[in-house]
Amino acid sequence: MHRFANPSRFLKIARPLTGWLFWPGLVLLVAGALCGLLVTPADYLQGDTVRILYIHVPAAWLGMAGWSGIAVAAIVQLVWRHPLAAIAGRAVAAPGALFTAICLATGSIWGRPTWGTWWEWDGRMTSMLVLLFLYLGYIALANASPRDGQGGVSPVTAIFGLVGAINIPIINRSVVWWNSLHQGPSITMRGSSIDGSILWPLGFTLLGFSLWFGAIVLMRMRTILARNKVEARLQRLARG
C-alpha cells in the first residue's frame, strides 16, 4: 500500500500512464460518438433521439464511478493515512461533478422529445440531482479546510465522501424500487434488452470516457503534487 506513498514512485508510473490513457480514451470516445451518430440505426420508437444514449450513459457512469472512487479513496485515507488517497479524492471531485451535470443536462434534452418533459421529480432524476449537490458540498468542504502542505482533502471531507456513497446504490436501484418515469435497467447481469445493432458504440464510448477520465484524474493529481513541491521549496527558502 505505502509503496506508492512516495510521490516520485507514483509519478514514475503516472507520467507515462497519463498519455497512454488520454489518447486511446479520446480516440475511442470520439469513434464511438461518431458511430453512434452516423452508423447505428434509429430506434423503432424514439427515432434518432436514441443516439443520446451513447453519451448520456457514460456521463452517468463517470458521475457515479467518480463518487465511488471518492469513497474508496476516503477509506484508504482514513484507515491507512495514505496521502495520495487524499489527493486522489480532490482530483476526482470536479470532473465527477461536471459529468454528473452533463448526465442531467443530456437526460433533460433527451426527455423533452421522448417523454414530453424537460424535468420531472422521479426517483432517478432526483437522486442524480442529489449526487450533483453532494459533489458541490464535497468540493466546498475540500476547499474550506486548510491546506496541510499535502494538497489532499481533510479527514472531515473524506468522511463526507464516505457518507455520500449511500446515494450510489440508491441511484442504481431507484428505477426498480419506485415507480418512475425513467425506464428500468436495460443492461443487467443476465443480458441486454438493447439490440446489438444499437448497443455496440456504447461499449466504445464507455471504455473511451473511462480511460480519458483516468487520465484527467492523473493530470490533476500530478498538478497537486507539483504544487506541493513548489510550496515545500518556498517554505525551505523562507526558513533558510
Partner 1 sequence: MNHWAFVIAAYAVTFVGTAAVSWVSWRGMRRAEAEAERAGRA
Partner 2 sequence: MKAKHQRLVLALVALAALVGAGLLAASALRDEAAYFYAPADVRAKGVEPGKAIRLGGMVVKGSLKRATDGVTLRFDVTDGKATVPAVFSGIAPDLFKEGSGVVAEGAFDAKGTFVATNLLAKHDERYMPRELEGMKYDEATHQLKVER
The site for partner 2 (CB under 8 A) is made up of: 41-46, 50, 53, 75, 78-80, 113-117, 120-123, 162-163, 165-167, 169-170, 173, 177-181, 183-186, 190-195, 197-199
- Restricted to residues 149-178, the positions that interact with partner 1 (CB under 8 A) are none
Report the partner that residue 235 touches, choosing among partner 1, partner 2, none (CB closer than 5 to 8 A by kind): none
Residue 110 to residue 63: CA distance in whole angstroms: 18
202-227 burial code (b ≥16 CB/10 A, e <16): bebbbbbbbbbbbbbbbebbbebbee
DSSP for 38-72, written as a single string: HTSPPBTTTBGGGGGHHHHHHHHHHHHHHHHHHHH
Q: Based on the shown chain and the rule CB under 8 A, indicate whether residue 233 belongs to the binding site for partner 1.
A: yes
Residue 165 per-residue DSSP state: T
Report the partner that residue 121 touches, choosing among partner 1, partner 2, none (CB closer than 5 to 8 A by kind): partner 2
Residue 237 to residue 240: CA distance in whole angstroms: 5
Shortest distance, position 196 Cβ to partner 2, whole Å: 9
Q: In the set 21, 33, 76, 141, which binds partner 1 (CB under 8 A)? A: 33
Q: Cell 424535468 appears where? A: 119
Q: In the set 2, 16, 48, 235, which binds partner 1 (CB under 8 A)? A: 48
Q: Based on the shown chain and the rule CB under 8 A, indicate whether residue 27 belongs to the binding site for partner 1.
A: no
Taking the alpha carbons at both ends of the chain, their separation in whole angstroms is: 34
Q: Cell 460518438 appears where? A: 33
Interface characters, 105-144, with partner 1 (x: CB under 8 A): xx--xx-xx-------------------------------
